[in-house]
Chains A and B, each alone.
Chain A
């Protein structure tokens, strides 16, 4: 049973518009959530995170929203840029060990100029 699900394998948006990537989880023990970005032939890089004590975290163009009751989080990118084109992974963990994370399958974002 997959504990972290990203139901959209791919997403295409126009440059300047908003990109919304979604993630659902099933394990109530998760209390820390991270987004990683991955370019081809590179390792994932950390993008933004949120603790379960918050419902929103913002860092520049990137905002993560957490809905604990629905066990759902989303990553908003505004405005989207062509350089944002990458695979985005949602990950969930216990806050005491964020490195021991459970990952979703990823969403490939394409931002068209």
Chain B
């Protein structure tokens, strides 16, 4: 099983460029999440989707948009990239219900110059 798949693995953008990070899960999970991890820090929640058709802001949503395309796919878009968005981005999914932990992808390493 692939679990959670993220593309691309690496990306370099210039300030002001846009891009979309793709995420897909094959575990039939209802909930999906986007986190970012900056060096030496923990993961911070950007956006999440509790179920297909819904999205909500997390702790650090500014500068990002998301789309829950279907139950499997949840994309993250940077409309106008800034150097402060240089980070590693992790997509995750979880089953709906109590006490369901996150299943993470392997991340996208983004550098904005």
Contacts and interface: CB of A to CB of B under 8 A. Distances in A.
A17 B40 CA distance: 26
Chain A interface: which size bin?
Answer: 20 to 34
Interface in A37-63: 41-46, 49, 51
A98 B107 CA distance: 20
Interface residues of B, number: 28
A43 B45 contact: no
Given A43-B4, A44-B43, A99 B105 contact: no
Interface string A21-48: 0000000000010101000011111100
A105 B42 contact: yes
B86 interface: no
A51 B99 contact: yes
Interface string B82-109: 0000000010111000111111111100
A105 B50 CA distance: 25
Given A43-B90, A43-B105, A99 B42 contact: no
Contacts of A41: 106-107
Interface of A: 4, 6, 9, 32, 34, 36, 41-46, 49, 51, 89, 91, 95-106
12 contacts: A36-B101, A36-B104, A44-B104, A95-B98, A98-B98, A99-B92, A100-B45, A102-B59, A103-B42, A104-B42, A105-B42, A106-B42
Given A44-B43, A95-B99, 4 more contacts: A32-B99, A36-B101, A91-B42, A95-B98
Which are the 5 A-B pairs with shortest beta-carbon distances?
A43-B104, A103-B42, A46-B101, A99-B94, A103-B43
